[in-house]
Structure 1
Amino acid sequence: MLKKLTQALQSMAGQRLHTFDPSSLGDPVALQTGWTPARSGGASFRTHKLVAVNPDRLEFRPAGGAMLFYLIFLLAGLGILIGFSAQKISSGGLAFDLDTILPIAVGAVFAAVGGGLLYFGTLPVVFDRRNGFFWKGRTAPHEVMNRRALKHFAGLKEIHALQLISEHCTGNKSSYYSYELNLVLKDGRRINVVDHGSRDKLREDAKTLSEFLQKPVWDTL
């Protein structure tokens, strides 16, 4: 109980430390938009890096450490599943008992978690000046008839500013800050771009993206 109370107080302290007055920007859109995290949770490490594919296209791609993290889960799970199954088959076959089901279930859970992390962690995050769109996902807006069916996309002309904000995340045994890069649209709506634990790298990427889009960075970090 005391530990949870301490974590809650730390979280509140972190939020107070990063209080930001949007009126200081002198922009009416800054007063319309939100200044709390657009996406709950996050990561304590860098999950994405900004890559220039060509002069008219930037993409956020998985960082090396993130890919390693995802693959460890996936390969560990597959290793348990394949190794244990092969051992059981060579020693007389699989039996429907706890000694058989439990290791297979553990392996399946690890493999499923790793596969999910790998799938969602490698979703394309694209800024394309040639086609005039930002999107997150494996389907580009210019490739579909009904663009509104896509969840995370915007025309580059709709982007008003880039927003950097922090979130103090607490777990059972640790706490950390995660940092968000969000798009602020002209109507005040926000779209989360990436959310990870490297403040300095995110600032660098936001600066590059700001120059690419010719949009300001609203930095509260």
Structure 2
Amino acid sequence: MLNKIKHALKKLSSWKPSFDPSKFDDEMALKTEWEPLKRGGTNFQTHKLVEVNYMRIEFRSTMGAKLFSLIFFTIGVGMPIFFGREMLHEVADIYQSDFIFIILFGLIFATVGGWLFYSFSKPVIFDKTLGFYWKGWKKPKRYMAKMEEEISSRIGNIYALQIIPELVRSDNKSYVSYELNLVLRDGSRMNVVDHGSPVKIRDDAKKLAEFLDVPVWDASME
């Protein structure tokens, strides 16, 4: 009975478009997984494609993504200052449970905001000069270690781009987030970006596909 309940909940929480990968006329598309690679997402655009030069393209965080994360951080830092200033008039009040709660609440918001800002700001780079794709500020080494293989790949190993929509449900609303993935020559996938603007992600995918000279497999058009 418990397994049936879990299965029902999983079925309700998952969503994917009904489509046939054979329409791409490529055997690799049939071997590739079409479930979302990265669960979750946002309902707004978090990244934009920037053409640095003819040999390098990057995904960078949008101003909206930075402001979104800074709101969390500002609330986390500002709440203890705003609500706790009256309590700080007396030393004994510092140890009151209400003040401790405000500090902990603010710390949680500040931590979330800082983590979001760090995650959004992490660059996503495609560099033909080096011949690599990677996420982060550190360039991959010529002979990649196991850890580097999880966040980087040789550009020549990229077979196609994949766009997959995912219905993200919360307590009181739901929205669709779109993830852009790399499909590698062994059929494995790597997530590039994941946000809520289908127009922008398709436009960026088209530019990136032209840069890499690979096809775009778009499962969001069904």
Is the TM value for this pair above 0.5? yes
Partner of 1:183 in structure 2? Answer: 182
Partner of 2:114 in structure 1? Answer: 115
Report matched runs for 1:37-186 at 5 Å.
37-84=36-83, 87-89=86-88, 91-93=89-91, 95-142=94-141, 146-150=144-148, 151-186=150-185
Name the CA distance, whole Å, in 1 between partners of 2:71 and 2:180: 27
Q: Name the % identity.
A: 46
1:218 aligns with 2:217: yes
1:120-166 C-alpha deviation (Å, 9 max, x unpaired): 12111111111000011232113x76432212111000000001111
Report matched runs for 1:10-49 at 5 Å.
15=16, 18-49=17-48
1:12-32 C-alpha deviation (Å, 9 max, x unpaired): 6x53xx212112212111111
> TM-score normalised to the size of structure 1?
0.88
RMSD of aligned residue pairs (Cα, Å): 2.2
Name the CA distance, whole Å, in 1 between partners of 2:184 and 2:99: 53
Q: Which runs of 5+ in 1 are unaligned?
A: none
Equivalent AA in structure 2 for residue 81 of structure 1: P
Partner of 1:197 in structure 2? Answer: 196
Name the CA distance, whole Å, in 1 between partners of 2:159 and 2:144: 24
Q: Is the 8 A contact 1:162 1:182 kept in 2?
A: yes
Aligned residue pairs: how many? 211
Does the C-alpha gap of structure 1 residues 54 and 81 become closer, same or farther in structure 2, counting only changes over 3 Å? farther
Q: Which runs of 5+ in 2 are unaligned?
A: 1-7
SS of the residue corresponding to residue 157 of structure 1 reads: helix
